[in-house]
Amino acid sequence: MLTLTYKRHLIFSTTFGDMAILYQDNPFLMTEILLPRADLGEIAHKWGKEGYHPNADLVAEVICDYLNGKIIGVPYEWMDMSRLTALQQQVLMRVAHIPYGQTRSYKAIAEEIGRPNACRFVGSSVAKNPFPLLIPCHRVIRSDGGIGQFGGGTEMKQQLLDLESRKAVSVPAGK
């Protein structure tokens, strides 16, 4: 039996503006999360038809919860990382484990993956993160303490770091 897979997208509103989830529907796999930006609708409409999938709705809800200050569970099994190399995936999985309210430098991530001289590679891998917010690349900063770049802009990155620092203080240990 032939199973058809369609490329779809879901545009949803957040406190930061409209975002989109790009996904295939059978089986459900996210291919990218688009942060708020002016050309979001145009990009999403070129990518595929707007569609409905309960998992896409669930991911949108998870992202909105995060942006409203809640610690979230991340559906890694729904992320299609096949366009990334094994080393890029290793970098992003290391970034995914930076605790809520904390940051790591590009250098620290390079050291944690056993490649202490690969700071620039870490930076380029983080820049290619197809799942911002779910894989919290905004938690990666420069060694000098500067916040560095972010696909949603440095202002959004700073707002996310501020949100987490305020909420992390009020979260009981072990939660």
**Residue 133 sits in a domain of what CATH number?**
1.10.10.10
Domain region containing 57: 7-78
Does 42 have pLDDT greater than 90? Answer: no
Does 175 have pLDDT greater than 90? Answer: no
3-state secondary structure of 17: strand
Both 72 and 116 in one domain: the answer is no
Going by the DSSP 8-state scheme, the letter that residue 145 receives in this structure is: S
Q: Quote the CA–CA distance of 163 and 169 in Å, as a whole number.
A: 10
For the residues of 2-16, what is the DSSP string, one character each?
Answer: -----EEEEEEEETT
Q: Tens of pLDDT along 149-167? A: 898 899 999 999 999 998 7
Judge contact between 168 and 175, C-beta under 8 A.
no
Going by the DSSP 8-state scheme, the letter that residue 70 receives in this structure is: -
**Residue 129 class from Cβ within 10 Å (0-12 exposed, 13-18 middle, 19+ buried)?**
buried
> How many domains does the chain fold into?
2
Residues serving a catalytic function are 137
Q: Is-above-0.85 flag for pTM?
A: yes
Q: What mean pLDDT value characterizes the chain?
A: 88
Both 72 and 17 in one domain: the answer is yes
Domain-ending residue, one of 25, 57, 78: 78
Work out the average pLDDT over 90-115. Answer: 96
Looking at 143-147, 158-162, 169-173, which range is the least confident one? Answer: 169-173
Both 51 and 91 in one domain: the answer is no
Instruction: Kindly indicate the confidence band of residue 50, based on its pLDDT and cuts at 50, 70 and 90.
Output: confident
Q: Which residue has the higher pLDDT, 2 or 81?
A: 81
Q: Quote the CA–CA distance of 53 and 51 in Å, as a whole number.
A: 7
Question: Is the omega angle on the peptide bond into residue 136 within 30 degrees of 0, that is, cis?
Answer: no
Given this model, what pLDDT does residue 8 score?
Answer: 86
Instruction: Kindly indicate the confidence band of residue 40, based on its pLDDT and cuts at 50, 70 and 90.
Output: low
Work out the average pLDDT over 67-93. Answer: 93
Q: Quote the CA–CA distance of 121 and 161 in Å, as a whole number.
A: 23
Does 81 have pLDDT greater than 80? Answer: yes
Domain-ending residue, one of 18, 53, 78: 78
Given this model, what pLDDT does residue 173 score?
Answer: 46
